[in-house]
Amino acid sequence: MSVTKRNEADVGYVEIDNPPVNAIGQSVRQGLLDAVRWAEELHLTRVILSGKGRAFAAGADAREFDSAPLEPHLPDVLNAIDESFVPWIAAIDGVALGGGAEVAMACRMRIMSPKSQIGMPEVTLGVIPGAGGTQRLPRLVGLAKALDMISLGKPLNAADALAAKLTHTVEDDPVEEAYMVNTEELGCIVPTWELPAPEHDKELLANARATIAKKSPNQIAPNRAIDVIEAGLSIPFHDALPIERAAFLELKIGDQARALRHIFFAERAAKMPETIKADPVALDHIAVVGGGTMGAGIAYALLNAGLRATILETDEDGVARALTNVEKVIDASLKRGLISDARAQDHRARFNATTDYTTVGDAMLAIEAAFESMEVKKDVFAKLAMTLPKEAILATNTSYLDINELAATLPDPSRVIGLHFFAPAHIMKLLEIVRGDKTSDAAIATGFALGKALRKIPVLAGVCDGFIGNRILARYREAADTVFMDGSSPWEVDEAMEALGYAMGPYEAQDLSGLDIAHANRRRQDATRDPNRRYIPIADRMVELGKLGRKTGAGWYRYPGGNGKVDDPIVADLAIEESHLAKRERTDYSGEQITERLVLAMINEAADILDEGIAHNARDIDLVTVFGYGFPRWRGGLMHYADTLGAKAIVARLRELSQEDAVAWKVSPLLERCAETGIKLADAAPSK
Ligand code: 3H9
């Protein structure tokens, strides 16, 4: 039974009971409709509607969105509630989201507990409210608030809902309070559908569209939601519902909604593999080696999760820098209202920075975030191994280095694991957990336990140069540099990738992180680079010229006065010069050609990563590209996007490109297999 009902005298109690979050699937819709008829037959004076467990209702069951809708449809169920002569009261204790909020709005009254939230996050799943939300919400909270809530998808907490008049009151026990509501008072409340629609305010609508153009360009649903809200302002409620429903049904089966659903469920499926049976070590006190930006971000993330963190540094200057860096993050969080003063004090009390390794003698996990040098890391690990308990897990935050080589220097290599955070480490959600050849299950379990504690998205990766994310990034940059040297400018490349949906292109992104990091990495790779692989020297020239990115005031772009970016003709000339020296003819690539080359390069590399077992499935690659590297979420991640292009078409195009450069464009065997067999990348398995 997904909906239970009982009555005490003339009061009905209806409870949605569909764990874990009371998603509204067919059985819930049927249960609610039955409850309307039941309450009317018994001539109850009110129905108090609540949700069992932690949610009132998390919205329509998105798992049903891939199939044809089954009766009864939610708009009909909610009309029945709204129009019933028995008034319903929504007693909300937990989240009321999407269809859940729509159910609540169809009730005559809403009472929320202080910890509850109410909102319309449909646009984050690529759809719009489809059960009257675009019509009921403006009637309840006014046009401005409704536009904001629906087009941005951000929920309100109970206090804000009260201020917006979306809830009548906020009480600790909403069910009890609903029972206490005066019957006469309840009878005077006008059903939501009978309320007048707000005035048609062109300026508010234009402002909402302008905000959307800035915040979620390329996304269809937010604009469509505004259109539907606008349509409803000048026609009767019941005429507006079919317009909303048609838009919802069309969006639901569109590419963007499918992609966003894919990422939503992928995020939730990011869990430790069931084959790992060991327990994690106790996470309480964690040592972080290195107090630079990354180390400080990691330390702050640990403090925020209620853990103790000690940063280990080599000298007193390093200690001072670590203290300043962590304090900066605490301060920024305070200023943004993310933590209270008391919480900041508590963070400081659980934090220490020192040169003394003996202070972390009780830490069961150490995360090294020192300089990206194998020698430095070996030295750090030797010291950690001597100081920490012998069962403690030793993690490195390396972005590229060989974890197996590092582990081999210790008597017990099974303690060693990679925990690859992304900067800023306290904000970015991705955590690559890198398993070396000898890494123990306990170490992996610890990585996943830490990911959970920090509310990160954990993805298990194998050892290779760059693991999943940076290996794809390296190929992406190589393809960008090739296009640049052979005909385009960095700004044309950036523009092309922004058109695909990236917030910024590869050159602007490099200017942010600094060109020296990739440069050091190229020098490290000199010894192992395939001599047949074409090498693009422009980035090296940039470093020679001291153009290291924003930090030096100029990189691929110039930043006069430290402000906005400006195209730099000197940089464009570098490419012309280098291609002249290399006797290459330059090509005038279109934006589409640039995007195609960069995307295909990434897909091909990612397919190899999957084939080699470095990533366990395509879904993990989607998570890495979306949450670590800015691939547009609404395209569902790199591999999901590849599946929309189709392996056959990808392989055909890669073969054409391999005529230009057989090494760089060597087609991945996994893609070949997918093209031959028709298996999607989403279902493809590693061959190794
Ligand atoms: C909508 O309502 C359209 C209507 O307007 C129109 C209809 C006609 N469906 O996140 P968690 C699962 S569109 C199916 O880990 P938390 C989730 O996959 C919908 N399943 O927990 C996971 O499953 P598993 C608008 C759902 O406590 C489990 O529940 N609503 C749905 O961290 C636990 O989830 C939204 O966009 C769903 N709608 O967070 C809200 N929601 O255990 C989407 C969750 O197998 N949901 N599941 O991995 C959320 O934001 C969060 O899940 C929530 C709980 C805040 C509710």
Look up the CATH number of the domain holding residue 589.
1.10.1040.50
Q: Which residues are catalytic?
A: 60, 99, 102, 122
For 476-523, write each residue's pLDDT tens digit.
Answer: 999 999 999 999 999 999 999 999 999 999 999 999 989 998 898 889
Domain count, the chain: 3
323, 352 Cβ separation under 8 angstroms: no
643: Cβ below 6 Å to ligand 1?
no
Asked if residue 158 and residue 135 are part of one domain, the reply reads: yes
Asked if residue 519 and residue 447 are part of one domain, the reply reads: no
For 208-241, write each residue's pLDDT tens digit.
Answer: 999 999 999 899 999 999 999 999 999 999 999 9
Residue 463: what pLDDT? 96
Q: What is the ipTM of this complex?
A: 0.99
Asked if residue 216 and residue 324 are part of one domain, the reply reads: no
**18 CA to centre of own chain:** 26
The last residue of a domain, from among 461, 485, 501 = 461
Residue 340 has pLDDT above 90, yes or no: yes
C-alpha span between 257 and 242 (Å, rounded): 20
Asked if residue 176 and residue 110 are part of one domain, the reply reads: yes
What is the Å distance from ligand 1's center to 296 Cα? Answer: 33
The last residue of a domain, from among 226, 260, 294 = 260
Atom of ligand 1 nearest to the CA of 124: 36
What is the Å distance from ligand 1's center to 86 Cα? Answer: 30
Main-chain phi, psi angles of 646, to 5 degrees: 95, 130
Per the listing, tokens 């060991």 go with 278
Query: Within a domain: residue 269?
Result: no
Asked if residue 445 and residue 510 are part of one domain, the reply reads: no
Query: Within a domain: residue 276?
Result: no
Q: How far is CA 176 from CA 13, 182, 405, 626, in A?
A: 11, 12, 63, 44
- The SS3 assignment for 8 reads strand
- Name the percent of the chain lying above pLDDT 70: 100
Classify residue 411 as exposed, middle or buried by CB count within 10 Å of its CB (0-12, 13-18, 19+): exposed
Q: How far is CA 480 from CA 294, 489, 521, 533, 628, in A?
A: 27, 10, 17, 15, 19
pTM of this structure = 0.95
Mean pLDDT of 467-481: 96
23: Cβ below 6 Å to ligand 1?
yes
Asked if residue 246 and residue 128 are part of one domain, the reply reads: yes
Residue 136 has pLDDT above 90, yes or no: yes
Query: Within a domain: residue 275?
Result: no
132: Cβ below 6 Å to ligand 1?
no
**260 CA to centre of own chain:** 10
Asked if residue 585 and residue 563 are part of one domain, the reply reads: yes
131: Cβ below 6 Å to ligand 1?
yes
Asked if residue 333 and residue 190 are part of one domain, the reply reads: no
Q: Give the DSSP per-residue string, 629-679.
A: H---GGGT-HHHHHHHH-HHHHHHHHHHHHTT-TTTTPPPHHHHHHHHH--
Residue 685: what pLDDT? 87
Asked if residue 478 and residue 445 are part of one domain, the reply reads: no
For 234-277, write each residue's pLDDT tens digit.
Answer: 999 999 999 999 999 999 999 999 999 999 999 999 999 999 99
Asked if residue 475 and residue 412 are part of one domain, the reply reads: no
Q: Give the DSSP per-residue string, 303-317.
A: HHTT-EEEEE-SSHH
Query: Within a domain: residue 280?
Result: no
Atom of ligand 1 nearest to the CA of 264: 18
Q: Provide the 8-state DSSP code for 276.
A: -
Asked if residue 456 and residue 377 are part of one domain, the reply reads: yes
- Name the percent of the chain lying above pLDDT 90: 95
Q: How far is CA 104 from CA 78, 331, 418, 508, 557, in A?
A: 9, 39, 46, 45, 51
Residue 521: what pLDDT? 86
CA-wise closest residue to 128 among 95, 96, 146, 153: 153
Q: Range of 552's domain?
A: 469-683
Q: Which two tokens stand for residue 242?
A: 């079919």
Asked if residue 213 and residue 139 are part of one domain, the reply reads: yes
C-alpha span between 555 and 546 (Å, rounded): 8
CATH number at residue 317: 3.40.50.720
What is the Å distance from ligand 1's center to 551 Cα? Answer: 42
Atom of ligand 1 nearest to the CA of 61: 9
